[in-house]
Chains A and B, each alone.
Chain A
Amino acid sequence: MSRPMSHVRPADRPSRHAAESWSAASSMHARVVGAVIMRDLQTRFGTGYFGFLLGLVMPLGHLTVAIGVTLLLGRPAPLGSDNAVFLMTGVLPFILWLYSHRQIMLTLAQNRPLLYFPGVDVFDLFAARIILEVVTGTLVVIIVLATLSILGHDLLIYSWRGFVFALILSWILGIATGLAFGALGAFAPVAFLFGNIIGPLLWAISGIFFLPDSLPDVVRTILSYNPLCQIIDCLRVAYYSEYSSSFFDPYILYVSILVLLAVGMIFIPIVRKVV
């Protein structure tokens, strides 16, 4: 009988990845991310690319609901003279957050079988979703602004820089909460339940329909710890030249985003070990 053979010399060690070198490994990651983006595009809302296009105009539905609710209540716009524009300044960052949050949170739940293919990594799945969300979010903003403009609403943005910055913050917050809930959900699926519940909750308490400055001090203090409420207020400061807010606190906002991102970043490598 031949002897068992088992020997490892350091000189025998090739690359760590399923490719010949680091550059080949990077190109493998790029290919996987590209392929997963194409797959997501085809399957996001049903089958085919038409579903993706449908998803882009869905935010207009959110805006229509918000306008409908306000019309029913018969309330004037808390800022400016146009209710639709006021609601847009709340709905747009909310949607950017919600879509990034939901899509990134469900990344692993929807794509886990792909991890059986050698070379496909958890990192690739999240990277694909994040890239797709940048594209989707940008198109959503353009579609909502163009639709309002076509319908005859005056869009006079006081600070484009501040406006875009606030939208980027919404997107980053969505990635942060999505990563955190998605990673936690891999250990305890109840995290997905909480991740879904915070959507409608934040719709009601993030200042889409009101200005935090108009609320009693106690409520305002509690809401100041809601990062989405901070972002919406930040966006309104950038949109309305006449609006100056005492509510907006960048410290709370940046710390909460960093903490959530850190939770996601810490848990994802652990997910890689246990999934």
Chain B
Amino acid sequence: MIVIDHLTKTYWTHFRRKVVLSNVSVNLDPRTSYGLLGQNGAGKSTFLKLIAGTEAPTSGRIYRSVRLSWPLGFAGGFHPLMTGRENVRFLARVYDADIAEVTEFVEDFSELGRDLDMPVKTYSSGMTSRLAFAVSMAIEFDFYLVDEITAVGDSRFQLKCARAFAERRARAGLIMASHSTGTIKDYCTAGMVLQKGRLMVFEDINDAIEVHRQMMEA
């Protein structure tokens, strides 16, 4: 369970205080897939970072009793001088996963072959994405965080990613932020709408999409 208790997040921009979240309280269940909707700049990515604990709240608390993933496919944490394999081993160590099992999974899934033993700085963006997605799937989490899902590789590889992600989702929760209501509907059963610092949570994703649509048209 993730318990968000009177959470407020503000930023100072151009000498103005911007309120991203104002006194938000909600419980998030790891058996549910939540779609997070909101206009551009509403604070969806910030909300995901706050949930992950990678950004600190201005006030309020977030309590977590589950293992949370990093944003799916995030490649920014790879050290460019380390090989793909060394980066994978680092993440397996951090999340207490079996290093041999994780490496074997990534080797097989990413299809990088001998390039897995080359420094990440030599990878193309496609290769880096494949590595990032593979390691995201190799380590099991209770809750997956997704900030705008992006396609990785060719259509065959995309199908492989979709299958692996569906398998993970069957055993874990999901919080997905996206502008695309179609994507959200495909992946999520419940919904959250973020607007002007307020968060509304809906048991049915269709209700969240409807509220979001009305807000966009207003």
Contact = CB atoms under 8 A, between A and B. Distances in A.
Contacts of A34: 93
B54 interface: yes
Interface in A225-269: none
Contact of A114 (B27, B63, B77, B93): B77
B96 A31 contact: yes
Contacts of A216: none
A119 to B, nearest CB: 7
Contacts of B93: 31, 34-35, 38
Contact of A7 (B27, B58, B90, B211): B27
Interface string A1-32: 11011111000111111111000000110011
A118 interface: yes
A156 B139 CA distance: 55
B200 interface: yes
Interface stretch (B66-74, B154-162, B170-178, B179-187): B66-74
A117 B82 contact: no
A203 to B, nearest CB: 28
A13 B71 CA distance: 24
B63 A7 contact: no
Interface residues of A, number: 38
A2 B27 contact: no
Contacts of B67: 18-19
Interface residues of B, number: 49
A117 B91 contact: yes
Interface string B203-218: 1100100110000000
B94 interface: yes
A115 B79 contact: no
B3 A117 contact: no
Given A12-B3, A116-B70, A118-B53, A2 B203 contact: yes
Contact of B3 (A8, A32, A116, A272): A8
A17 to B, nearest CB: 7
A119 B54 CA distance: 8
Contact of B27 (A12, A19, A43, A115): A12
A47 B201 contact: no
Contact of B82 (A19, A39, A114): A39
B77 A116 contact: yes
Contact of A117 (B24, B94, B200): B94
A118 B56 CA distance: 12
B79 A39 contact: yes
A120 interface: yes
Given A2-B203, A8-B25, A15-B64, A38 B90 contact: yes
B81 interface: yes
A58 B211 CA distance: 63
A113 B211 CA distance: 35
B27 to A, nearest CB: 6
15 contacts: A5-B26, A6-B24, A7-B25, A7-B26, A15-B63, A31-B95, A35-B93, A43-B82, A47-B82, A47-B119, A113-B76, A114-B77, A115-B54, A120-B94, A272-B56
Nearest 9 pairs between A and B by C-beta?
A14-B65, A35-B93, A8-B25, A4-B200, A118-B52, A118-B68, A273-B56, A113-B76, A6-B26
